Structures are given as structure tokens and as C-alpha cells.
Chain A
Amino acid sequence: MSEMNHERFEDLKDAYVLDALPEDERRSFEEYISAHPERQAEIDELGAVAGLLAFSPHEQEPSAELRRRVMDVVEAEAEPRRASRRSLFSRLGDYVGARSLALGAAALLVIGLLSWNLLLQEQVQDLRSQAQQSKTIELQGSWAEQGTDAQVAYIGKNQVILVAKNMPSVPDDRTCQIWVIHDGVPDPSGLFQPEGNMTAAAITSSIKKADAIAVTVEPAGGSKKPTSDPVLITEL
């Protein structure tokens, strides 16, 4: 096998990201990367392209039995740890903070139940009224131009919620994602699905020293970085 050098790196990098190097070449290649960490970003980028192949197979539905089998194991292993761990919902409190927990919880509750119970719209209205009594900032953008009335409202020193009405619906495989932007870098800050006439969502990142807040439409599950233009945005 030839000694690994720059030329050999260039020659093998495509096979490497496709996981198509024999074991000895793979080890040699990885040793080269370890010795030249400046090449790692190039490999990561190329690996992302190769990784796209994973999305290409035609969709196959896994069986309900598979889910049951997996969850049986997970539940069994989770049980011993459960007592000493905080639950999903108690952890949510971290995002909101003690001072605004009640208001944040109300917002979360409204998001979850809005589509099921029209009576809850009154609670959203109350929430919106409370938000309007504190400092609020209106969001601009293409959705605002189409009639969406969206505001961010301060509920704590550096904490805000997003309250909106007349938001357009998004497809099932898409979700709205909130971004808090510091120095031009967007930080994922919550997901929500517009449902009904009114929507409220907690913004999960601190806005301390933030420059702007934006909302984009992303694939279900959210994105690490925005993949589309903001539909709503405001500077802070």
C-alpha cells in the first residue's frame, strides 16, 4: 500500500466517505486525518454529500411489531433510571425558567390542545392579552404581508414567547422553527405547528445579546440550521 500523503488523500477521500476503503486503507486514511485536522472539514462536507444517499431509498413502512420490540427494551432499561431522572415535562421547565413557568406552561398547554378544543382559544386570547401588556415586538416578513399578526412578547428578563394569529398551515412533513440569531448565527429555539386561528410558542433560547428572532418552515423534526428563508423576522 502506498504511503498516505496529500495526493493519496485526494485519491481516496471519495471512497472513504462512501465507506468503500478496505480496512488497511481506511485506518491509514484516518491516521492521516488525525495528523492533519485541517482536512477534517473537507471530509465532513464530502461525507454529508455521501450521506444523502441514505435518504434515497423508496419508503418502506416498518411494522408495528418492530416498534413494540424496540420500546419493550427501551422501557425495561429506562425503568431503573426513571426514579433518579427528571421527566420530559419537568425538564421543559428549564427552558422557561421559574419566574415565568406558569405563563410558559400555559403557552405550552395551549399549543398542544388548541386543535382539540376551541374553548382553549379564549385562554390563548388571555395569554395574548397578557403578552400585549408587557413589551412586545411585531414580526415582519412574507407571512406578515399575507395577514399573519405575530409578536414576540417579553415574559422575563431575557425570555420571550411568540404569539400569532392567522398563520398559514404547513404540510404534515414540515414544521415552523424559531431561531434566535446572535452575530448572524441562528440558534434553534423551538418548534411549533400552526393550528387554529391563534398560536403561542415558547422561545427556548435566551435572547440576551441576540440580534434578531426569525421563523422558518423546516422539515418535520426541525433543522440544525435554517434551510429556507424566514417567513417572519424581527430585530431586537
Chain B
Amino acid sequence: MILADEDLISLIETGDAEAFATLYDRHSRSAFSLAYRMMGDRQAAEDLAQDAFLKVWRNAASYRAERGSVRTWVLSIVHNRGIDQLRSTASRRRTQEKIEASAPRSQPSEAFSETWRNSQRDQVREAMGTLPPEQLKILELAYFSGYTHVEISELLSLPLGTVKGRMRLGLKKIRDYFDSRDVAVPR
């Protein structure tokens, strides 16, 4: 029998390592991919993923199903701890991101063109591919690199209002992508 993620979390709460291993095998690739995207370094990404999964193991009781799926919860732990680490090593990252921010980018739609369109992941990539590069860049700087809106404003030499506006439009565009297909935003 295949247990749902929520059932595995219940078992992990009781100290069931076998249930944890199953959950790890289901979500480690997504978690590591996010960690790698945030940290930009394989060893740092593995340290972050390990840290996050041990938090899942030790704090399974804090999962709240009404706030979203287990996968979303696991990824939010990776994200939150990644943001903490990035901000604690902010100065080192700043230089790297400044270079990236000024470098020419390929269009997201090209980067995401290798699709398997039925998968949720590719739907998300496709949704992000609809964003203008200037909106996507600001979402990425905030979400993956841990910059505040004020820092992004300074980094890109844009008025703070423009940064907020692009955040708003970018998120709206992703939501509109799912609404237009009559598909619920995955949680």
C-alpha cells in the first residue's frame, strides 16, 4: 500500500524512520533542486537540504494540512532556512548576484521549453515562462536570493514602487495562468 504524504507525517511524528525514508525519497529531489537554486553550490545545497529534512523529522507535528500540502511544507522549510543562510552570508552573495543581474538572460520560455506538459512542475515552469524577464528577475531575486524589496530596488537602480509593482504583476500573472486554465493553484 502506498501511504499519502499526510499519513507519513503522522507516522514520522511517532518516530517511524521507515515512513521518513519514504517521504525523503519522494521529495528529496525537489528539495535539493530548490536548495541548489538558492545556494548555487552543491555542498551548501546538500547541507541546506539535510538541515531542512532533519527539521521535518524533528518537527513533523508542526505540519498543518490546512496550510498546504506536505511537499509545499517541506519546500517552505528549505526556502526559509535558505533565506536565513543567504542573509547571514549576504555580502558574499551580493557581488555574485550583482553580476548575474546585469548579465543578459535567455528568455524564460526558452529555458523552460523542454516540457513534459502534464506535470505540475512543468505547469509552474510554463507559468513562469509567461512572465516578462523584468518581473521574473525581481521574483527570483526575492525568492531565491533572499533580497528584500529595498535591496532589489538598490541593486537594480529602480524606484521601490516599481519593484513592488513588478512583484505584484508577476505573482498575478502566475495566478492568472492557472485561472485561465481553470486549474487550482497547486498547494
Interface residues of chain A, those whose CB is within 8 Å of chain B, are 11-12, 14-15, 17-22, 44-46, 48-63, 65-67, 69-71, 73-75, 77-78, 81-82, 85-88, 91-92, 108, 111-112, 171, 173, 175, 177, 188, 190-193, 201-202, 204, 219-225, 227
- A61 and B167 within 8 A (CB): no
Residue of A with least CB distance to B25: A67
Q: Whole-angstrom distance from the CB of A35 to the nearest CB of chain B?
A: 20
Sample (25) of A-B pairs whose CB atoms are under 8 Å apart: A14-B167, A14-B168, A15-B167, A19-B79, A44-B68, A49-B185, A51-B76, A55-B30, A55-B124, A55-B125, A55-B186, A60-B33, A61-B32, A66-B32, A66-B46, A70-B57, A75-B17, A77-B58, A91-B10, A92-B1, A219-B120, A222-B4, A222-B5, A224-B6, A227-B184
Q: Which chain B residues lie closer than 8 Å to A71 at the CB level?
A: 17, 20-21, 24
Residue on B nearest A78 in the bound complex, by CB: B17
User: How close is B30's CB to chain A, nearest CB, in angstroms?
Assistant: 7
The residue on A at minimum CB distance from B120 is A219
Contact indicator B149/A21 (Cβ below 8 Å): yes
Complex Cα gap A223–B169 (Å): 28
Is there an interface contact between B65 and A48, defined as CB atoms closer than 8 Å?
A: no
Q: Mark B146-187, 1 if CB is under 8 A from A, else 0.
A: 111110100000000000100110010011000000011111
Question: Which B residues fall within an 8 A CB radius of A?
Answer: 1-7, 10-11, 14-21, 24-34, 36-37, 45-46, 49-50, 53-54, 57-58, 65, 67-72, 75-76, 78-80, 83, 118-121, 124-125, 127-128, 139-140, 142-144, 146-150, 152, 164, 167-168, 171, 174-175, 183-187
What are the residues of chain B within 8 A of A227 when measuring CB–CB? Answer: 120, 183-184, 186
- Given the known A-B contacts A20-B142, A73-B54, A192-B1, are A62 and B18 also in contact in the complex, defined by CB atoms under 8 Å? no
B123 to chain A, nearest CB (A): 9
How far, in whole Å, are A50 and B124 apart by their CA atoms in the complex? Answer: 11
Q: How far is the CA of A73 from the CA of B20 in the complex (A)?
A: 12
Contact across chains for A70 and B183 when beta carbons are under 8 A apart: no
CA distance A77 to B27 in the complex (A): 21
Q: Which residues of A contact B16 (CB under 8 A)?
A: 78, 85, 87-88, 91
A25 (CB) vs chain B CBs: closest residue: B148
Using known A-B contacts A19-B146, A66-B32, determine if residue A52 contacts B124 with beta carbons closer than 8 Å: yes
Chain B binding site: helix, strand, loop or mixed by DSSP? Answer: helix
Q: Do B29 and A59 touch (CB < 8 A)?
A: yes
Given contacts A88-B19, A188-B6, contact A53 B139 (CB under 8 A): yes
- Output the least CB separation between B102 and chain A (Å): 20
A53 with B186: CB separation less than 8 A: no
Name the residue in B28, B36, B118, B171 with the highest tally of chain A Cβ atoms < 10 Å from its Cβ. B171
Given contacts A19-B143, A21-B149, A66-B50, contact A225 B1 (CB under 8 A): no
Interface pair A20/B2, CB less than 8 Å apart? no
What is the bound-complex CA distance between A40 and B187, given in angstroms? 16
Task: Considering the complex, give the chain B residue whose CB is closest to the CB of A52.
Answer: B124
In Å, the complex CA distance between A38 and B120 comes to 30
A51 & B68 in contact (Cβ 8 Å cutoff): yes
- Residues of A contacting B118 in the complex (Cβ-Cβ under 8 angstroms): 171
Residues of B within 8 A of A45 (CB): 185
Provide the bound-state CA to CA distance between A208 and B127, in Å.
41
Given contacts A44-B67, A221-B5, contact A57 B36 (CB under 8 A): yes
A85/B186 contact (C-beta < 8 A), A55-B30, A191-B2, A223-B69 known: no
The answer to whether A20 touches B148 (Cβ under 8 A) is: yes
Q: Sort A-B residue pairs by CB-CB distance and give the 9 closest, nearest first.
A: A81-B15, A57-B37, A20-B142, A62-B32, A78-B17, A54-B75, A222-B4, A18-B142, A191-B2
A166 and B142 alpha carbons, distance in the complex (Å): 49
CB distance from B61 to the nearest CB of A (A): 13
Nearest CB of chain A from residue B79's CB, rounded to whole Å: 6
Residues of chain B within 8 A of A82, CB atoms compared:
15
